[in-house]
Structure 1
Amino acid sequence: MITVVGIGEDGLDGLSPAARILVDGAEVLVGGARHLAMVPAGAAERLEWASPFAESRALLESRAERRVVVLASGEPLWFGAAATLIGWFGAAAVSVVPHPGAFSLAAARMGWAMQDCLFLTIHGRPVESLALHLAPGRRLLVLAGDRASPAAVTALLRAHGAGASRVLVLENLGGTGERITDADACASDLCVVAVECVFDKGVRPLSLAPGLPDEAFEHDGQLTKRDIRAATLAALAPLPGQVLWDVGAGSGSIAIEWMRAGGRALAIEGKPDRLERIARNAARLGVPGLEIVAGRAPDALPLDREPPDAIFVGGGVSEAGLLDICWSALGRGGRLVANAVTMEGEAALVALFGLHGGEMTRLAVAHLDRVGGFHAWHPAMTVTRYVGWKK
């Protein structure tokens, strides 16, 4: 049995009597150097986490018959080591003794109700991921990666038109060096950044609903336009944690909006300039974790991976065999959505419909525009959409 004991900046003095007994009785004491230094030398073997962290698994497995106590910051299941250990060894083999963590202490110092806050981390993660969560009045508590993190957060807020946000830094929470300061004065790597989002006058925050404005994306014209994109994403039906392949991604708009809805995605694109553009769009729109695959479909399709939950084909629909390969790659219950604007592309969709059934829809959109001193409707190209669910 591995016991994970949450410990704060107040060290052993802050532990409950039961937690203190567990630490004192350990045969193997595991943790980072900072946590191990909080415990006076004793009979227990001391073991620092390996680097890379994944190599710690073998160290723990070799001591499975001994009383192993792991020291972890605060609440070990909140962006903490306990979740990883349970993934390795199972819940039955890991016991967790929580302690007030940085988030609960930060909320207490700010006087913010925890149910009204969003808890995030940029410890080992890109600061750009915060952009997804910016909304007027939203309260964010962000676990920092180091003392440079608060300045990076304020820079991101300014870049997204939220420079008027209230930002405070809470350092060394629970310890003797605890203090609250502003982003420019941060002097500790152990800090939480508290953000109360306020957008600058005239800025329109981006919604998480499908159909971001076209101008939100950098593109070269290869972009599924807003109205069609919203309808396409509705057909794809994104769900948290599910995986999308965006084939012929162009600007990456479909994959990016899928991820903004909580899924994971691969953007498959063959043109180098578009690959860079997709990466910039993903970072700016809060999903820097988008995986970008360089290459032309179908050759670049990662067919050796687990089947995706959904595939969108927006480019190369008429490519010989592409739709059949994509259909075969789907897992059970997966859905394939493909759009076409040419007769050749539409013929490929009709053939797919004949083989597998599904839905065929024509989408026609017109926008009002000026014609001299008058206004008139300007129709966009009609899009034929195929939607199929794999039984």
Structure 2
Amino acid sequence: MSDAPWLSVIGMGEDGLDGLPPASRQALDAAEVIMAPPRHLSLLPEGPQERIAWPVPYSDGLEILSGLRGRHVAVLASGDPFWFGAGSVIARHFDAGEWRALPGVSTFSLAAARLGWPLEKTLTLGLHAAPLTRLRPYLASGLRALILLRDGAAVSELSRYLDQTGFAATRLHVMEALGGPRERLQTLSLAEAQAGDFAHPVCVGVEVAGEGRAIPKASGRPDAIFETDGQITKRPVRALTLSALAPQRGEHLWDIGGGTGSIGIEWLMSDSTLRATTVEPRADRAARIRANADALGQDHLRVVEGSAPEVLGSLARPDAVFIGGGLSTALLEWLFAELPAGTRLVANAVTLESEALLALWQADKGGELLRIELAQSAPLGPRRGWKSAYPVVQWSVTL
């Protein structure tokens, strides 16, 4: 086998071979095997190459592809394989010298050209393999988004979701088979889209409008967006806690004693590269955390039912740890013994016993202690006065 890549990942549009640039056409002609979803294979004329339909689920195809090493293989993908496409999945599973990518024009570029929308100011999402709730953090009147959907039926599902979230005045630009002979573009209201019939592949341009609630971008989102039984880090304290945790690109958080899940969820909202694992001993609260994460577009939050530190040893190591519940000497001893230097730890305490524990550990390990005292105005007879919340003591330290 030569040093040249045996695998070519080729981006192809709905116009089939007609839209392929010369380099992509040459790689396809030189291939012994063509592997692609059935729709892409149907766009090709008859030829001498062996053809393999990529199976569902997608991960099953990677094993088949691995078995083709030593042959010249072309994998077909839609448009630009590295923009919500198959390219990144293949790149993770094969060495850099084994493959090369020959991208085509992305669906997003075609859609922006049809609508006259500047791509740099337009939200682009691939929801063909993800829930529609991934949209929720972005929804606000005036938003423009281009969204790849699973199939034609998903257009109606998207319409109902936007209606349910309060953005009933939204307009949809439904684009089918962009760049090919079946291309069709329709501009519809949500009601019209729910009654429509659309063919795969589908990209939808969304112009969001309506009275729905937009979720703020800053840490300390409104308490009302979370379902809770009362066990929640309230908005002002949550904002201070996220500031102390200081999420950075690509980092992983342990949220111990998740309660409602608000800290882990807001951590994930800070950046799309972040990961979070919430540990919660109560099954009912763990279920509520999952529901909150799903509803707010953070379905990738991992929720582990169990007590800390017992369940922590099996988890991927964190960059930051928040203790919102279950604070104990045993937990702190485990964290300092098992986690690497540089891990950031933030713990909040409300009771006198837990406050004393944090003061003791801060004296030994250093870090900063912050006492948070908040009061809100409330009726006091015919007038108003201040109603104080329980003070919170926060310890921030780097292991």
Which TM-score applies when normalising by structure 2?
0.92
Q: Which residue of 2 aligns with 1:232?
A: 241
Q: Which residue of 1 aligns with 2:205?
A: 194
Per mean C-alpha deviation after superposition, the further-off stretch among 78-87 and 61-70 is: 61-70
Q: Which residue of 1 aligns with 2:48?
A: 43
Provide the C-alpha distance between the structure 1 equivalents of 2:337 and 2:248, rounded to a whole number of angstroms: 21
The answer to whether the 8 A contact 2:34-2:50 is kept is yes
Instruction: Tell me if 1:267 matches 2:278.
Output: yes
Displacement, 1:320? 4.0
Q: Which residue of 2 aligns with 1:217?
A: 226
Q: Which residue of 1 aligns with 2:153?
A: 148
The answer to whether the 8 A contact 2:376-2:387 is kept is yes
The answer to whether the 8 A contact 1:241-1:264 is kept is yes
Q: Which residue of 2 aligns with 1:120?
A: 125
Q: Provide structure 2 residue ranges, at least 5 long, that are not aligned to the other structure.
A: none
SS of corresponding position for 1:321 = helix
Instruction: Tell me if 1:316 matches 2:326.
Output: yes
SS of corresponding position for 2:111 = helix
Provide the C-alpha distance between the structure 2 equivalents of 1:382 and 1:116, rounded to a whole number of angstroms: 43
The answer to whether the 8 A contact 1:311-1:326 is kept is no
Provide the C-alpha distance between the structure 1 equivalents of 2:165 and 2:151, rounded to a whole number of angstroms: 22
Describe the shift of the 1:68–1:284 C-alpha distance in structure 2 as closer, same or farther (beyond 3 A). Answer: same
Q: Provide structure 1 residue ranges, at least 5 long, that are not aligned to the other structure.
A: none
Structure 1 runs, 4 residues or longer, greater than 4 Å off = none
Describe the shift of the 1:331–1:130 C-alpha distance in structure 2 as closer, same or farther (beyond 3 A). Answer: farther
Q: 2:379 aligns with which of 328, 353, 370?
A: 370
Deviation sequence 1:240-267 (CA, Å, 0-9, x none):
3311111111111111111111221112
Letter of the aligned partner of 1:271 in structure 2? R
Q: Which residue of 1 aligns with 2:25?
A: 20
Q: Which residue of 2 aligns with 1:172?
A: 177
Aligned length: 386
Displacement, 1:274? 1.2
The answer to whether the 8 A contact 2:140-2:213 is kept is no
Q: Which residue of 1 aligns with 2:260?
A: 251
Task: Quote the RMSD (CA, aligned, Å).
Answer: 1.7
Deviation sequence 1:322-381 (CA, Å, 0-9, x none):
122233443442211000011110122123213321111111111112212211111111
The answer to whether the 8 A contact 2:37-2:55 is kept is no
The answer to whether the 8 A contact 1:5-1:97 is kept is yes
Instruction: Tell me if 1:7 matches 2:7.
Output: no
SS of corresponding position for 2:314 = coil
Provide the C-alpha distance between the structure 1 equivalents of 2:62 and 2:129, rounded to a whole number of angstroms: 20
How does 1:273-284 map onto structure 2 within 5 Å?
Answer: 273-284=284-295
Which TM-score applies when normalising by structure 1?
0.94
Provide the C-alpha distance between the structure 1 equivalents of 2:253 and 2:293, rounded to a whole number of angstroms: 15
SS of corresponding position for 1:280 = helix
Displacement, 1:51? 4.1
Q: Which residue of 2 aligns with 1:162?
A: 167
Provide the C-alpha distance between the structure 1 equivalents of 2:54 and 2:346, rounded to a whole number of angstroms: 46
Provide the C-alpha distance between the structure 2 equivalents of 1:157 and 1:352, rounded to a whole number of angstroms: 49
